[in-house]
Amino acid sequence: MRKIIPYIAVVLAMLIWAGSGIAVQHSLVYLRPFTLIIFRFTVAVLLMLAVGLIARWSAKRRGASDSLLALQGMHRQDIPLFLLAGIMQPVLYFIFETYCYRSLASPTIAEAMLSTAPLIAPLLAWLVLRERVTKYNIIGIVISTVGMLLLVLVGSANFELGNPIGLPLAILAVCSAVMYTILLRKIPERYSPLSIIFYEQVTALLFFYPLWAVIEGKSCLADGFLLVPYTEVLLYAFGYLAVFSSIVAFVLFCYTVRQIGVTQANAFNNVRPVFTALIMLAFFGEQLPLGKWLGMLLVVIGLFVCQKQEKRLP
């Protein structure tokens, strides 16, 4: 049972992130982009601080070792790793992703480019960590990526490129996300997943607040933080992003990366379009052509192949 827990965790993380785009769209009706980011991660950091301190106090009271949710102090020698991880994601990833979408005329092309993390992950994992990459990893990732492209591209009519600078921005976003997962592997095992995400997001806020002040601060102070009057939709969408997308999904993904490695964990990024398509079908009535169903099947097959272990010779 313990062997499948990381896989359950990463599937849940991808399911949560699959709904994040919908929550972001609803939130941006009320809040400016950087205002949403700083509010979202500030609330997430405060919640993690409260949960982490309570979990640590509870563990000490029971005489138990620190739990997965306990907040541990950071060792001075590990500060550079946490700083780099926080800079890679969410800081650089969010910036590159945002300007990629703004540069490319077709969000379909942007989404396809931003979904190539599973293809880049094995190379970077091998170069930086010397993480073993098997033929099953490669074959499974290729099959899964073909399925992901079918999911993204089938039924999309707008393929105008727009500003070609969006393509390298997408690659930079993907590389930032993959380097983030590599740094998760390098952070010492003594830290709980909640501690890792807490310190990374504190680092991210140190960069996001000055950016917000320069880009949106003046407008917010002059015209108010809300673009339109508040409704309950903002509460639900923002709560989803702050609690589930910024805490639960990040903690689950962190746990998985540290258990099964960069290559296998990143392969599950291809399942996000599957969950997004199913959410749109279930809650918004969006119909799925045959090509998208085929894409889902290939994604699932590719994930099973990617996780297959090579038999070692006696």
Rg (CA), the chain: 20
Residue 140 pLDDT: 87
Residue 160 pLDDT: 60
Tell me the pLDDT band of 314, cut-offs 50, 70 and 90. very low
How far apart are the C-alpha atoms of 6 and 14, rounded to whole Å?
12
Tell me the pLDDT band of 91, cut-offs 50, 70 and 90. very high
**pLDDT tens column, 117-158:** 888 888 888 888 888 888 888 888 888 888 878 877 776 655
How far apart are the C-alpha atoms of 234 and 20, rounded to whole Å?
13
Q: Say whether pLDDT at 310 is over 90.
A: no
**pLDDT tens column, 172-203:** 988 999 999 999 989 998 899 999 999 999 99
Residue 30 pLDDT: 94
**pLDDT tens column, 221-280:** 999 999 999 899 999 999 999 999 999 999 999 999 999 989 888 888 888 878 877 887
Tell me the pLDDT band of 313, cut-offs 50, 70 and 90. very low
Residue 264 pLDDT: 87
Q: Say whether pLDDT at 159 is over 70.
A: no
Residue 197 pLDDT: 95
Residue 232 pLDDT: 93
Residue 18 pLDDT: 83
Tell me the pLDDT band of 167, cut-offs 50, 70 and 90. confident
Q: Say whether pLDDT at 164 is over 80.
A: no
Residue 312 pLDDT: 43
**pLDDT tens column, 103-113:** 776 555 666 67
Mean pLDDT of 45-58: 92
Residue 108 pLDDT: 58
How far apart are the C-alpha atoms of 38 and 94, rounded to whole Å?
12
Residue 65 pLDDT: 62
**91, amino acid identity:** V
Task: Give me the helix-helix angle, 79-86 and 166-186, nearest 10°.
Answer: 150
**111, amino acid identity:** E
DSSP the chain: -TTTHHHHHHHHHHHHHHTHHHHHHHHTTTS-HHHHHHHHHHHHHHHHHHHHHHHHHHHHHHTPPP-TTPPPPPPGGGHHHHHHHHIIIIIIHHHHHHHHHHHBS-HHHHHHHHT-HHHHHHHHHHHHH-----HHHHHHHHHHHHHHHHHHHTT------B-TTHHHHHHHHHHHHHHHHHHHHHS-TTS-HHHHHHHHHHHHHHHHHHHHIIIIIHHHHHH-S-SS---HHHHHHHHIIIIIIIIIHHHHHHHHHHHH-HHHHHHGGGGHHHHHHHHHHHHH-----HHHHHHHHHHHHHHHHHHPPPPPP-
> Does the predicted model carry a pTM greater than 0.75?
yes
Q: Say whether pLDDT at 311 is over 70.
A: no
